[in-house]
Structure 1
């Protein structure tokens, strides 16, 4: 699987989700909130992320 990720877009999407980076955010320590935020980021930067097989989704996470 070969996915090219636009670094600037990735940074923008992460910045839109404070639980991923803002220590003062109430949800920063919430594991589920972080997982959901990362899932949203992946949906935004990877075409058809939801339709990928689970193995490919795991590769994206790495």
Structure 2
């Protein structure tokens, strides 16, 4: 495994892309509430939301 930086996480599904979004304070509070309730981080909640919306397009 030469070439990997120390602390590099090995995963079958690497997250190579960064998405930056602008949120108003109320939307950010909603996102943080979802994180608190679910025990997931912001990225996980956003990814789940994308999956949910994508599933709706497949109907």
TM over 0.5: no
Larger radius of gyration: 2
Q: Which one has more relative contact order, counting CA pairs under 8 Å at least 6 apart?
A: 1
Whichever structure has more helix as a proportion of its residues is: 1
